[in-house]
Amino acid sequence: MKLVTESRFANPDAAYERLVDAHRGLDERESRALDARLVLILANHIGDLELLEEAIRIAQRTGAPPGGG
Amino acid sequence: MGANSEESRKARYQFGYRRRPEQDRAVPARHPVVIVGAGPVGLTAAIDLAQRGVPVVVLDDADRIGEGSRAICFSKHTLEIMDRLGLGERLVEKGVTWQLGKVFLGNDLVYSFDLQPEPGHKMPAFINLQQYYLESYLVERAAELDAVDLRWANRVAGVERRNDGVRVTIATPDGDYQLDAEWLVACDGARSTVRELLGLGFTGLTFEERFLIADVKMAADYPTERWFWFDPPFHSGQSALLHRQPDDVWRIDLQLGADADPEEETKPARVLPRLQRMLGERKFELEWVSIYRFDCRRLERFVHGRVIFAGDSAHQVSPFGARGANSGVEDAENLAWKLALVLFGTAPASLLDSYEIERGQAADENIAHSTRSTDFIAPRSSHARVLRDAALKLAPFAPFARRMVNSGRLSTPSAYDTPLSTPDRETFAGDARLGLAVPDAPMIGSDGRPCFLLERLSDGFEVLYVKDGAAPAPPAGVKLTVIGEDLEDASGLFAHRYDASPGAAYVLRPDRHLCARMRMFDRTEVARAVARAMGNRS
């Protein structure tokens, strides 16, 4: 199996909005902690180490500092 | 939008105040419909009502159409409405037609979109045109109609709600006078006087971020596309928009941040260097500049007894997505046929409940879209900004992230989930959807000439019937158009877009929204569907 990077949500804007809303009212630390829990939950849902490796590679490759591009 | 009021704008088109004989009457004159506001929404409503045989009085507090482009993007659906009012071709001819949009991060293209990839529509996906052109064309069209009485320098100073109508007090250069309206339609903009006089709450979200909007005149060879930048090299850390208008005028939006001082930022000494960084060595003239902040908010209800709100007076959105003027024009067309039927006594007043339902849904949709776009362009928290930047960074590598990049989701008509629709009993594929404005298609007329479906439709209820033997008789008051006889579907696009089969029938409301369809025409079913769409539910 290959990591899917095609769009899968029927309504990507709504999914995006939900991710923003989940952080409303949280400070920086709480926000990072929420994201961490989310990553663990979603990684477990994927449940495949190879796919996880691939996701990490894409995230690392695109992770130039903000404003640099 | 925090734009200047019409009063304070320099005039592009100047109109005169004219004293009306009824201003001297001791007893106020009574009119079926009085519309407040001669902007795109008020004038659309006025012309549509007049074409349906309803005389209207239009009041506007100004005596001019002011400078400044304001709304510039007009959607296909708005153009289709304008075509029915006699202005579609003129608008397209003057406007700049475009359908491609590009989104950049820094210098890199991250995403592009084509709004109308397929041919076979009379109207383009979008045109850009300064609002003052649209307004001046609407004023000219209104002047051709005896049923429109447009009164400049007539400011609403009082509104008294009565059981059978509204008494309006109007201030003019000659002093005050009163009018009685059976229905008062408030199209008087985001800072609606009528809304204020009735003391109605207008609640929602205000974005702190300030934007510079500038109309720049220059000879430039940029393509006719919508260009949007996140973090452009010429305006670091912010966003920017470049979009062409007619007459070599270009709309430029620059995000300034929440702390920008509106007075300082409109001074040429501040504006010009910002634009020079963007435009380089090009020579340009500044036509109009304004600083604004956005609100997304709405009235809880649009119909208050005999007072009906339409356009920005009822709901306000941020400009990303071109949902302000376009949704206001859609309000006007949704209201006009219903109000006309109610005034003629053909439909019960409760038909107007469907205006509330349908345009309320559309307002919620528009507010949700424009809020999301604004949140993406100007994130309200540091986390939202991190997430936004992540989506932008991923976009070139991961298609899913491109779908999340949001520089404005452009206005499309709403598919109404409405009691006026008769639910489908059979399944239909294609683009036509129940509750949605019907799609156009190229046809051949019975005279053998090519034409478009939408330009051949009537102003009333209409059945599109797909030929299958002799044409059936429609119910009284309903026009029947036979596809395969009155109009020939030579390209097959009608069949494709409507999922048409011989004998099928599509029932269109006067605003060309699909309210019922069936695989086999049935006169009783059609009559029932039309009655239902007129609010006469059995």
**Predicted complex ipTM:** 0.91
CA distance A34 to chain B (A): 11
Query: Taking the model in full, what pTM does it have?
Result: 0.94
Checking B435-438 for CB contacts under 8 A at 24+ apart, the result is B435/B513, B435/B514, B435/B515, B436/B513, B436/B514, B437/B77, B437/B80, B437/B413, B437/B511, B437/B512, B437/B513, B437/B514, B438/B498, B438/B506, B438/B508, B438/B512, B438/B513, B438/B514
Neighbouring C-beta atoms of residue B526, cutoff 10 Å: 24
Contact A13 B372 (CB under 8 A): yes
Residues B25 and B146 both lie in one domain: yes
* pLDDT, tens digit, 9 for 90 and up, residues B8-36: 678 899 999 999 999 999 999 999 999 99
Q: Is residue B221 part of a domain?
A: no
Q: So what's the pLDDT on residue B417?
A: 97
Last residue of a domain, one of B286, B316, B350: B350
Last residue of a domain, one of B334, B350, B366: B350
Q: So what's the pLDDT on residue A31?
A: 96
Local structure of B203: helix, strand or coil = strand
Q: So what's the pLDDT on residue A67?
A: 43
Residues B185 and B306 both lie in one domain: yes
- Banded pLDDT at B7 (limits 50, 70, 90): low
Mutation target vs B (from A2, A4, A17; most B CBs, 10 A cutoff) = A17
Q: Is residue B164 part of a domain?
A: yes
CA-based nearest residue in chain B for residue A69:
B106
Q: Is residue B276 part of a domain?
A: no
* pLDDT, tens digit, 9 for 90 and up, residues B356-375: 999 999 999 999 999 999 99
Contact B404 A15 (CB under 8 A): yes
Residues B29 and B145 both lie in one domain: yes
Q: Is residue B465 part of a domain?
A: yes
What distance in Å separates the CA atoms of residue B82 and residue B138, rounded to the nearest whole number? Answer: 9
Q: Is residue B511 part of a domain?
A: yes
Q: Is residue B43 part of a domain?
A: yes
Contact B397 A5 (CB under 8 A): yes
CA distance B428 to chain A (A): 20
Task: Specify the number of domains making up chain B.
Answer: 2
Contact A9 B231 (CB under 8 A): no
pLDDT higher than threshold 70 for residue B269: yes
Domain harbouring B163, CATH code: 3.50.50.60
Q: So what's the pLDDT on residue B508?
A: 98
Residues B46 and B188 both lie in one domain: yes
Last residue of a domain, one of B333, B350, B367: B350
Q: How many CB pairs under 8 A join A and B?
A: 71
Containing structural domain, residue B65:
6-95+129-202+299-350
Contact A5 B105 (CB under 8 A): no
Show me where the domains of chain A are located.
28-62
Domain harbouring B522, CATH code: 3.40.30.120
Contact B237 A67 (CB under 8 A): yes
Q: Is residue B468 part of a domain?
A: yes
pLDDT higher than threshold 70 for residue B537: no
Q: So what's the pLDDT on residue B67?
A: 80
Residues B81 and B191 both lie in one domain: yes
- Measured CB to CB, residues of chain B less than 8 Å from chain A are 105-106, 108, 231, 236-237, 369, 372, 375-376, 379, 381-384, 386-387, 389, 391, 393-394, 396-404, 406, 409
Q: So what's the pLDDT on residue B427?
A: 96
Residues B337 and B463 both lie in one domain: no
What distance in Å separates the CA atoms of residue B428 and residue B13, rounded to the nearest whole number? Answer: 49
pLDDT higher than threshold 90 for residue B470: yes
Least confident of B66-70, B243-247, B391-395: B66-70
- Banded pLDDT at A2 (limits 50, 70, 90): confident
